[in-house]
Amino acid sequence: MCVMQKKILEKAFIMLGVILMLPGCTHRSHIVTKRIIVEIGKKNDVSFCAQEPPPITIWIHGTMFLKKPFFHEIFAQDALLNLAIYMDKDFYSHQIAELLYQQDPGQFPLETLYAFSWSGKLSAMSRFDAAKKLYHQLIELIEKYKKKWALYPKINIIAHSHGANVALNLGLIEKIYQKKLKIDTLLLLACPVQKETMHYAGSKEFRRIYSLYSSLDMVQVIAPQQGSTKKPFSKRIFPGHLKVVQAKVKLNGKAIFHTDFTSRYFIQSIPSLLEKLHELEEDYAQYVAKKIVLHIILQKQKSKYYNVATARKRYPLKKKLYAQNLFKKKDFRDIYL
């Protein structure tokens, strides 16, 4: 490749970045916002009675990018719905379950907190097949629940990235099999909004849907729309859906990345975040009519420890040893992983 071709490619990538950033930064002076403050780490002290029917929560991961044996163990080739607490402790799904339980044991009891593992392939057909398997496993789980508690369970789904499109496909699959599936709350984190699945957000199977996004999340919008040449990239926002409560997320006033939606601090904020979203659900139609954009501000206290980058600048001669010792500190792990 000659020098001229390299320069052309560099300009092309720069222009692509600018184009993708435009929806999140144009006409800011004309945008009216409503700020919702969510304190990270705030625990819900509501007591939970063991005799009460517990809600069911399902975590769905996104696309697999690293093709290594270790990741193939996490992103199962056979789509399975498992109790997250029974998964290996090294799996992040297990850690997510523990974090949610610690923050709100009443809303996220371990005995009904599941993780759905699927292939994670960047393929619309793979996501549909995964949703089909999830649907049938959900129906079986619901029947067992009804036999034990004599009522239909309250089902909540938390899905990240293309895991959100797996969940949205449940709306189509319900029309095929008609088993009367009902999802109480569907929380979509950094969902690539695509033509093939976005209209399923209006399905009656979903009682309420929350979609959270960030203007700094480039992975969300560069996710390809398969079979589409006119609009090859995904969108951030569901168009024309009053049923979907949509909000931009920031951490201490700054936009977050795609992977931040699965970070420790974000998972810790989910119980309080859902509580805030439930409160404003009734007024959301008014916000849409007045073109008010919801901003969720996650507030996190700063650590007294420096991060690794700062450690390397301040201690260049001992940067490796200092960084290793810093990484072992529990406070550092709790805040930054």
CATH of the domain at 146: 3.40.50.1820
For the chain, the domain total comes to 2
Same domain, 245 and 318: no
- Whole domain around residue 325: which residue ranges? 305-337
Weakly modelled stretches of the chain, pLDDT under 50 = 5-9, 11, 18-20, 22-30, 68-73, 303-308, 311-312, 314-337
What pLDDT score does 50 carry?
57
Same domain, 193 and 327: no
Residue 210 has which token pair? 């929350």
What pLDDT score does 334 carry?
32
If you ran DSSP here, which 8-state letter would residue 85 be given? G
- Which of 296, 58, 244 is closest to 158 using CA atoms? 58
Same domain, 274 and 316: no
Same domain, 320 and 271: no
Same domain, 37 and 102: yes
Residue 231's Cβ-count burial label (10 Å; 0-12, 13-18, 19+) is: exposed
Using CA atoms, how far apart are residues 168 and 60, in angstroms rounded to an integer?
A: 11
What pLDDT score does 288 carry?
75
C-alpha angle 118-153-109 in degrees, rounded to nearest 5:
70
Q: Is residue 72 within 8 Å of residue 100, measured between CB atoms?
A: no
Tell me, yes or no, whether 224 lies in a domain.
yes
Same domain, 216 and 328: no
Same domain, 269 and 329: no
Same domain, 221 and 263: yes
User: Is the full-model pTM beyond 0.75?
Assistant: yes
Strands 244-251 and 292-299 come out as: parallel
What pLDDT score does 331 carry?
36
What pLDDT score does 133 carry?
96
Same domain, 173 and 128: yes
